[in-house]
Amino acid sequence: MNIYVGNLSYDATEETIKQAFESFGEVTSARVIKDKYTGQSRGFGFVEMSVQSQAQTAIKSLNGKELLGKQINVNEARARTDQGRTGGQGGRGRMDYSGRGNRYYPVFFSSSIRQQKRVDQMVQRRRRGNHRGPKPSHLRRPKSYRVLCSGCGREVITQVPAPNDKKLLCTECFSK
């Protein structure tokens, strides 16, 4: 039976957990879960015992007891549900813009170093302002042209080029 041991001291090792559970029966394995990058304990672990009745006795006896100065939580381990992994992502992970990150550093549910490098590159491009290339045509400002009014000679800004054979008038000259 697999047993979850929570609220462990960061000084707890697999050997200390194993010793605590061995008084109740045979311990098949004991693991302290550690951070992938720092190697420090994450504060929880798992113990596997071969006999279910011994495991139930250990859970009842050790839940709430003190181990290395901290009150530990001991429960039967539940099956792991991969809620963070959804299909169809193509191995790219998921981005979360729910407010925990910001627009430059979204929270990423992918722990691969390659993916983190891509995020860092994306952040740099966003800060430079060219993260997605040119804007779509419906978002672009229309091109403007500077031409001279044929009536008064003032410079007029238009959104269409002036044809060579026709004269262009500003609004004041046109209303006269």
| Other residues' Cβ atoms within 10 Å of the Cβ of residue 173 | 16
Which parts of the chain are beta strand (E)? Answer: 2-6, 27-34, 41-49, 66-67, 70-71, 73-76, 95-96, 107-108, 145-148, 155-158
pLDDT tens for each residue of 78-101? 887 766 555 444 445 555 545 544
Percent of the chain with pLDDT over 70: 69
What span, in angstroms and rounded, lies between the C-alpha atoms of 139 and 86?
A: 32
Distance set, CA 111 to CA 32, 35, 41, 95, 117 (Å) = 20, 12, 18, 12, 11
Q: How far apart are CA 23 and CA 46, in angstroms?
A: 16
The pLDDT value recorded for residue 45 is: 92
Q: Which residue has the higher pLDDT, 64 or 164?
A: 64
Q: What is the DSSP letter of 143?
A: P
Question: 24 with 63: CB under 8 angstroms?
Answer: no
Overall average pLDDT of the 48-52 stretch:
91
Return the half-sphere exposure (C-beta side, CA atoms, 13 A cut-off) of residue 167.
9
Q: What are the pLDDT digits (tens) for 126-163?
A: 666 665 555 555 555 667 777 888 888 888 777 777 66
Q: What is the pTM of this model?
A: 0.47
Q: Please give the domain boundaries of the chain with CATH numbers for all domains.
A: 2-76 (3.30.70.330), 145-175 (no CATH)
Q: What is the enclosing helix (H) or strand (E) of 176?
A: none
